[in-house]
A = this chain, B = another copy of it.
Amino acid sequence: MSADLTAVGKQFADFYYQTFDGNRANLGPLYRDFSMLTFEGSPIQGTTNILEKLTSLPFQTVKHIVTTMDVQPTTDGKILVLVTGMLQVDDSPNPLAYNQVFHLVPEGTTYFVLNDIFRLNLA
């Protein structure tokens, strides 16, 4: 993998989680009406539905801590990012392990999310 792609993935993940943890209603510009999110097995499509799902998650404060991030090119400049990390929710002393895949599509000088799959690791 080129250092460039890794940098793009890191820049995206940093921005995504900072926005999510700050005010997840602001994630809208990262999605499109054909974007897909599968959240804990529930399939959701389109910016409006995705934002509705994310903003209705039952916690007030959340912090994502990225543990690993792997990046690969797919086709036509798109990139695949696999994140594993820990999620701190509200006052819970026990962070939750999660993993999340993003498939990013280049658009101008930036990227939008075509595919997004989120899973907690409850093993």
Q: Which residues of A contact B (CB under 8 A)?
A: 1, 36, 38, 41, 43, 67-68, 70, 72-76, 78, 80, 82, 84, 86, 97, 99, 101, 103, 114-115, 117, 119, 121, 123
Contact = CB atoms under 8 A, between A and B. Distances in A.
11 contacts: A38-B72, A41-B68, A70-B119, A72-B115, A75-B76, A80-B117, A82-B119, A84-B121, A84-B123, A86-B123, A99-B119
Contacts of A67: 123
A88 B81 CA distance: 26
The prevalent SS among residues of A at the interface is strand
Given A82-B119, A121-B121, A36 B72 contact: yes
